[in-house]
Amino acid sequence: MSDMENQSLEENTTVISGPLPPPPETYDGPKLPSLSAFMPAYNEEANIRRVAEDVLAKLKLVTDDLELILVDDGSKDSTGKIIDELAKKHSEIKAAHHEKNRGYGAALRTGFENCSKEFIFYTDGDGQFDSGEIIKLIPLLEKGDVVSAYRVNRKDPWNRILNAWIYNTFLLIFFRLNVKDVDCAFKLYKSKFFDTVTLKSDGALIDAEVLIKLKKAGAKIVQVGVNHYPRLVGEQTGSKFKVILKTAKEILANWRDLA
| 158 domain residue, yes or no | yes
Query: Backbone phi, then psi, for 199, in 5-degree steps?
Result: -95, 140
- Give yes or no for residue 88 having a pLDDT over 50: yes
Which pLDDT score is estimated for 104? 95
The mean per-residue pLDDT over the stretch 37-53 comes to 96
Which pLDDT score is estimated for 234? 54
Distance CA 174, CA 219 (A): 19
Dihedral class, residue 234 (left if φ above 0, else alpha if ψ from -120 to 50, else beta): left
Q: State the average pLDDT for the chain.
A: 89
- Give yes or no for residue 11 having a pLDDT over 50: no
- Give yes or no for residue 54 having a pLDDT over 70: yes
* CA dist list (Å): 123 to 11, 187, 226, 251: 27, 7, 12, 23
- Give yes or no for residue 12 having a pLDDT over 50: no
Q: How many CB atoms within 10 Å of residue 18? A: 19
Give me the number of domains the chain comprises: 1
Buried b vs exposed e over 103-127: b needs ≥16 C-beta within 10 Å? Answer: bbbbbbbbbbeebebebbbbbbbbb
Per-residue pLDDT band for 13 (boundaries 50, 70, 90) equals: very low
The mean per-residue pLDDT over the stretch 198-221 comes to 96
* Neighbouring residues of 5: CB distance < 8 A, sequence distance ≥ 6: none
Domain residues for 131?
A: 30-258
| 137 domain residue, yes or no | yes
Judge whether 192 and 119 are in contact, CB under 8 Å: no
Which pLDDT score is estimated for 246? 83
Distance CA 18, CA 112 (A): 27
- Give yes or no for residue 238 having a pLDDT over 60: no
| 1 domain residue, yes or no | no
Q: pLDDT (tens digit, 9 = 90+) per residue, 161-203?
A: 999 999 999 999 999 999 999 999 999 999 999 998 999 999 9
- Give yes or no for residue 117 having a pLDDT over 50: yes
| 243 domain residue, yes or no | yes
| 40 domain residue, yes or no | yes
| 23 domain residue, yes or no | no
Question: For a pLDDT cut of 70, what percent of the chain falls above it?
Answer: 89
Q: What is the CATH classification number for the domain harbouring 56?
A: 3.90.550.10
The mean per-residue pLDDT over the stretch 17-32 comes to 79
| 7 domain residue, yes or no | no
Q: pLDDT (tens digit, 9 = 90+) per residue, 145-163?
A: 999 999 998 888 888 899 9
Distance CA 14, CA 96 (A): 23
Question: pTM, whole model, 2 decimals?
Answer: 0.87
* CA dist list (Å): 242 to 57, 145, 245, 247, 249: 36, 33, 5, 9, 10
Question: For a pLDDT cut of 90, what percent of the chain falls above it?
Answer: 73
| 3 domain residue, yes or no | no
